Every structure is written in C-alpha cells, then in structure tokens.
C-alpha cells in the first residue's frame, strides 16, 4: 500500500544532496548511514525549525525527525515512551525515523532534553493512501490563475483557480465545491493534498464528479475611495491589521449574505459560463479553515438553496466582525443562538477543531465556540459531525481527515436527485451532548 518511488542511493547522493528531500529519501539516507545525511537535513529543514525542535517530514506512517541540541535528546510521539535519537558526528544535529499509526489522523511529538520537554508540535498529520497520487488514477487539471474584479465589493480583485477532473464530461452537469483561501489547497505535495484526495475519491466513485473552485481572499488596494475600501481601511486602522488581512476578515467573518452573493452572482457565474455545473444546492459544497470555515457555514446558512454541504476546519465562530457595521449587528459568536432560534436550514455540516486552538481577550475561545456550535446543531437535529482533536489553530487534523470528511459529506449522493432532506445519522442521535472537562489549570496538566 505504501509505495514510494525511492531512487537508488547513489542517485540520491549525487542529484539531491543540495536540494530539499522527501521523507522517504531522508529515511533512506538514515537507514544507510549515509555521510550525505547532514547536508540533506540542512537543505531540507529551516535552521530555525531545527533549533526550535519543530522539524519533521512524513509520508504516510513513515516519519523523519531532526533536531539541534547540545545534549542527547529522546523522541516522544503521542505521549508514548521516549526513544533515543542518533547523533550526526561533528555536529549538534540528532535524527530519528519513526513509524506512526494510525494514518488519516493527527498525532503529536516532542523531545526530552536534560530531563525536560523541548520543542515538538501538536499538529503532526499522518496522511492515508487517499491523500497521495495512486497508480492508475488519472489526475485532473488545475487552471492558470484567474483574476476577477468585483462589483459587489467595489473593485476588489480576487484570484481563483478551477480544477477539472478527468472524468468531467461537458454533456453531463457536474457537482461543485468551493474552497476559501483556495491557494493553500492546490499543492499536491503540500500539507493540504486536496487534489489527490479529489482524484482518488472520484475514481472510487465515493464522491461525484465535481468542478472545484479554489478562491483566495480579495485585495482592495487598487480601489481607494470606494465604500468597500473605506470600510476595510477603517477596520485595518482600528485593529492594526494589514489591508489584505482586513479584506479577508470583511469577506469571511461578516455574518451577512454579501459574500454568498459575490460567489453566486460573480465568480460562479464566470465558472458556469465555461463548465456545465449543476444548479441544485444538493450538488454544491463549501469549505474553508478558520475565518474561511465560518465563511463556508455562513454562505450555506444565508443561501441554503445555493450551498447545502459544508466542511469547516477550526472555524472562527467568534466575535471578529461583531458590530463593525451598524446594519449588521450579528457576529460569528452569535451563530449557536442563531442555529437554535432561527428556522432550520437544510444543510449538512462537518465541524473540526482542536483542544489547543486559539483564545484571546478580544474574540474568545475557538474550541468553546466550536463546541457550542456542535451542541446547537445537535439540539436542532441537524445532519452534522464534530471531529474534536488535540491540535492547535492549524490545518493538520482537517487535512489528515479530509478523505473521511469528503466521503461523509457526499455520502448517499444520487446524481438522479436534485434535493434531499438531510437527517441526523442514527449513530449521532444515540450520543449525548458534548461536555467540557477542564484539563489545563494544573501545573502537570500537559
């Protein structure tokens, strides 16, 4: 199952010694005690990550770790027993290889140096086979970057890409999925290998043939003096955020239908002029992380007749854009109450968050906000799933679980239908509400 195209050792040394190596290549060098390993480590990891103890590379369950330390460190994975590391002679570098199970899940690691914890990460994704290019599975095509100038947002320029699977037939309308912060999902070899997952699941007929739109937050810099620019500039000055970051927050964190209209009436209208896409919400999905997570939920909430399937990673259901505009009094923190109080929407929702996600004195707690959202959805009998792990404000868990998320989101999809009344799974109905256990107030809690 875990096949890696490992080059012969001599080719690894001669061709790749000065370049960044993959995890299988680093593991191969480590197993052979190659004298080239030191150079490979220095070429493959940033010096700061080696010094901080946060350097790692992985492929499936197989991982390579390296750290700079003045005395011998030991490696701890998922709080299990520690294991010794090997020393690179003539340096202060140490390394280890490890087999991490299960895959398609998030893991953690840290070091023990002089008896004390050091470095590590809580966001170590072990990707499963569906996250990698598989033999015999055709790869779709990602378009060149497209730039759209908005009318709804007064001259804002947005970059987006269109992904077309090999199985797409212009004679047959395809499903649609929109990814916020889309540029972060288009690297097959990166930490969000979304394109591989889509190809593999379409080939296995576990999700429908779909056109995917990967859209970045817009940029208002070139439209000074417009109403949108003035608002975004005011927000930027008030909260000491960059103009681009403030534009992203205005798009994603605002609880209104403006962004959904922007997608439907401007960007997707352009896409639909090029490709045959289904019109029914039953066939339309949204996803994003952090502010892009609440944005995806908000678009479906505001327009359930346009988008009915949502995946939210580490969603910012917090008070980021709360009362920034007098005509929009609601903020993201109000969504649990909106779910409870407002008419039920016909939407299906996967929420993901981690216990070590953010909190601050302006916006509140991301983990508690997502727990409140999950309980509100449960109390109102929504078709939802809540995956709560131990990670931080990071895409690691969501990306590791992405194949599972997509299969769940598109389960029982029937291309002969244009609608479905979503119902909570029986397995979820039998479970209690989510409760909170305080686990971080004692010195030895971690």
Q: Which CATH superfamily is domain 130-429 in?
A: Alpha/Beta hydrolase fold, catalytic domain (3.40.50.1820)
CB 208 within 8 A of CB 173: no
Cis peptide before 177 (omega within 30 of 0): no
Give mean pLDDT, residues 416-444: 90
**10 pLDDT exceeds 60?**
no
Contact of 185 with 192, CB cutoff 8 Å: yes
What percentage of the chain has pLDDT greater than the value 70? 95
**pLDDT tens profile 168-202:** 999 999 999 999 999 999 999 999 999 999 999 99
pLDDT at 371 over 90: yes
CA 228 to chain centre: 28
Give the model confidence (pLDDT) of 44-90 as tens digits: 999 999 999 999 999 999 999 999 999 999 999 998 888 999 999 99
Helix 291-302 with 243-252: angle, nearest 10 deg: 40
- For domain 9-126, give the CATH superfamily: Immunoglobulins (2.60.40.10)
Q: In the chain, list all ranges with CATH 3.40.50.1820.
A: 130-429
Question: pLDDT of 310-360, one tens digit each?
Answer: 999 999 999 999 999 999 989 999 999 999 999 999 999 999 999 999 999
Q: From CA 223, how far away is CA 229, in angstroms rounded?
A: 6
Residues carrying CATH 2.60.40.10, the chain: 9-126
Per-position DSSP letters for 104-149, written without gaps between them: SEEEEEEEEETTEEEEEEEEEEE--GGGS--TTPPP-EEPPPEEEE
């Amino acid at each position: 199952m875990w096949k890696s195209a490992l080059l012969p050792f001599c080719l690894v040394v001669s061709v790749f010694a000065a370049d960044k190596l993959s995890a299988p290549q680093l593991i191969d060098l480590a197993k052979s005690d190659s004298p080239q390993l030191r150079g490979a480590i220095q070429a493959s990891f940033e010096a700061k990550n080696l010094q901080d103890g946060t350097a790692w590379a992985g492929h499936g369950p197989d991982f390579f770790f390296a750290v700079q330390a003045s005395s011998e460190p030991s490696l701890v994975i998922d709080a299990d027993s520690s294991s010794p590391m090997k020393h690179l002679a003539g340096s202060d570098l140490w390394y280890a290889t490890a087999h991490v199970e299960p895959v398609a899940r998030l893991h953690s690691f840290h070091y023990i140096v002089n008896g004390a914890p050091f470095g590590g990460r809580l966001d170590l994704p072990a990707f499963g086979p569906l996250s990698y290019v598989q033999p015999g599975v055709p790869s779709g095509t990602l378009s060149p970057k497209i730039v759209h100038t908005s009318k709804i947002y007064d001259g804002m320029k947005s970059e987006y890409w269109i992904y077309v699977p090999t199985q797409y037939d212009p004679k047959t309308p395809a499903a649609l999925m929109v990814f916020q912060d889309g540029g972060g999902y288009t690297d097959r070899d990166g930490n969000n290998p979304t394109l591989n997952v889509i190809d593999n699941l379409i080939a296995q007929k576990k999700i429908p043939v779909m056109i995917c739109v990967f859209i970045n937050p817009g940029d208002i810099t070139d439209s000074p003096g417009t109403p949108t620019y003035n608002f975004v500039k005011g927000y930027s000055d008030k909260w000491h955020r960059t103009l681009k970051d403030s534009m992203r927050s205005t798009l994603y964190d605002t609880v209104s239908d403006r962004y959904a209209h922007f997608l439907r009436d401007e960007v997707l209208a352009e896409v639909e002029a090029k490709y045959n896409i289904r019109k029914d919400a039953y066939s339309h999905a949204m996803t994003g992380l952090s502010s892009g997570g609440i944005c995806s939920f908000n678009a479906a909430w505001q327009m359930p007749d346009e988008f009915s399937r949502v995946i939210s990673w580490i969603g910012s259901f917090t008070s980021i854009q709360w009362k920034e505009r007098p005509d929009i009094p609601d903020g993201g923190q109000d969504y649990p109450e909106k779910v409870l109080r407002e008419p039920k929407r016909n939407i299906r929702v996967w929420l993901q968050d981690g216990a070590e996600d953010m909190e601050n004195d302006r916006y509140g707690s991301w983990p508690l906000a997502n727990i409140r959202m999950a309980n509100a959805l449960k109390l109102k009998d929504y078709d939802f799933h809540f995956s709560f792990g131990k990670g931080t404000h990071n895409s690691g868990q969501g990306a590791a679980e992405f194949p599972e998320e997509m299969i769940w989101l598109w389960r029982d999809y029937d291309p002969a239908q244009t609608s479905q009344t979503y119902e909570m799974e029986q397995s979820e109905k039998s479970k209690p509400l989510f409760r909170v256990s305080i686990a971080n107030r004692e010195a030895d809690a971690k």
